């Protein structure tokens, strides 16, 4: 039987050869509908792109690729550490790409990993397109999403229940009698942020006479948090929130510093809850209450899922693992 080629895919999809090439190699240059049409045609014919076929024959490189949103955040550093542990145990090494809150950098890392023929990828997505993920799947490059889920239901994932995490943080503040809360974070389009906000909103909606304000920041760094803390401190006392839920510990620690530097008592006047429970949270000047994410364990588990997928090849099954939140209570909410 003759090998299926790109011309056959073009005929089946009813498009040009160049469109097939773009859909499979540069999915961001064509519409999502075209990508779906072409990949469906390719799969129905059993077409494997030439580069993917070479990879399948040449395996193995012994390399895995991993993208993270921002390596400066200790949560992502711990995520990488756990993944490296699992990879090393199976004889792999990991190439790490720091997206640095930039979708263009993220896309560049993924394309680089393809060029160096990694055997699989761990992707902690910032803004990676569905088309790019679909291209990897068609090319038979095993992918595991980390700290995220695949809405299309195609890829394995190791994630965290962020809706429950946001609810846990807000419930803690509401249980103290704080009825005026604020949620502070950046980029609502990022799934983790959106779900943490949703959990916070759910808790407030279930509590009579409570209200929630949302404060968006440019980034989630300590310096940005410090600026926001000073800005909140400058508000009239009766307009300030009594409790704040943040999207990570860096932002929360900076925010606490900005508040206390401006004369606001934490937690006497305003309580603050962080997210991730990084090591520094417990030794900050005001030890930080934080929603704990077991980052190293999540990374290790994701690495193990990817290694299993590589070993299983075409027989790999989709795995979905969801970690549950815990709250580490410290002085930023309970020290008064």
User: How much is the pLDDT for 266?
Assistant: 97
Name the residue ranges covered by the structural domains of the chain: 6-58, 63-160+295-323, 162-293
Residue 146, CA distances (Å) to 159, 169, 187, 306 in order: 6, 22, 18, 11
User: How much is the pLDDT for 219?
Assistant: 86
CB atoms within 10 A of CB 168: 21
Domain spanning 63-160+295-323, CATH architecture: 3-Layer(aba) Sandwich (3.40)
User: How much is the pLDDT for 57?
Assistant: 47
In the block, residue with structure tokens 């059993």: 46
User: How much is the pLDDT for 191?
Assistant: 87
User: How much is the pLDDT for 22?
Assistant: 81
- State pTM to two decimals: 0.79
Residue 83, CA distances (Å) to 77, 88, 150, 296, 304 in order: 10, 9, 19, 8, 8
> In CATH, what class is 162-293?
alpha beta
**CATH 3.40.720 holds for 6-58:** no
Rounded CA-CA distance 202/198 in Å is 6
Domain 63-160+295-323 and domain 162-293 have a common topology: yes
Residues 155, 159, 161, 163, CA torsion sign: negative
Compute mean pLDDT per 10 residues along the chain, 336 residues long, and list them: 75 86 77 80 72 52 93 93 96 95 91 91 90 83 94 91 98 97 88 95 97 93 95 95 97 97 97 96 95 97 96 89 97 84
Q: Does residue 209 come out as left (phi exceeding 0), alpha (psi in the -120 to 50 range) or beta?
A: left
Rounded CA-CA distance 128/102 in Å is 10
Task: Give me the count of residues in the chain.
Answer: 336
């Amino acid at each position: 039987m003759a090998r299926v080629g790109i011309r056959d895919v073009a005929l089946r999809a009813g498009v040009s050869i160049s469109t097939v090439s773009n859909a499979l190699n540069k999915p961001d240059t064509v519409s999502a509908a075209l990508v779906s049409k072409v990949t469906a045609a390719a799969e129905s014919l059993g077409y494997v792109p030439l580069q993917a076929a070479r990879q399948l024959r040449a395996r193995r490189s012994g390399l895995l690729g991993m993208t993270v949103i921002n390596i400066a955040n200790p949560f992502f550093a711990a995520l990488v550490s756990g993944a490296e542990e699992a990879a090393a145990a199976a004889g792999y090494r990991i190439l790490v790409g720091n997206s640095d809150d930039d979708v263009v950098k993220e896309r560049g890392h993924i394309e680089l990993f393809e060029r160096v023929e990694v055997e699989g990828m761990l992707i902690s997505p910032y803004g990676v397109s569905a088309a790019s993920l679909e291209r990897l799947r068609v090319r038979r490059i095993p992918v595991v999403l980390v700290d995220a889920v695949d809405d299309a239901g195609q890829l394995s994932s190791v994630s965290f229940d962020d809706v429950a995490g946001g609810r846990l943080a807000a419930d803690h503040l509401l249980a103290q009698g704080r009825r005026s809360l604020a949620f502070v974070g950046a980029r609502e389009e990022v799934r983790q942020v959106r779900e943490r906000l949703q959990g916070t909103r759910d808790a407030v909606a279930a509590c009579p006479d409570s209200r929630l304000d949302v404060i968006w920041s440019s980034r989630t760094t300590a310096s940005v948090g410090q600026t926001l803390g000073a800005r909140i401190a400058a508000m009239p006392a009766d307009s300030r929130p009594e409790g704040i839920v943040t999207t990570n510990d860096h932002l929360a620690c900076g925010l606490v510093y900005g508040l206390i530097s401006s004369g606001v008592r934490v937690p006497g006047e305003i309580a603050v809850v962080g997210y991730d429970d990084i090591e520094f949270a417990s030794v900050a000047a005001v030890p930080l209450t934080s929603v704990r994410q077991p980052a190293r364990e999540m990374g290790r588990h994701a690495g193990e899922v990817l290694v299993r997928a590589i070993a299983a090849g075409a027989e790999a099954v989709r795995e979905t693992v969801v970690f549950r939140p815990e709250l580490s209570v410290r002085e930023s909410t309970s020290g008064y």
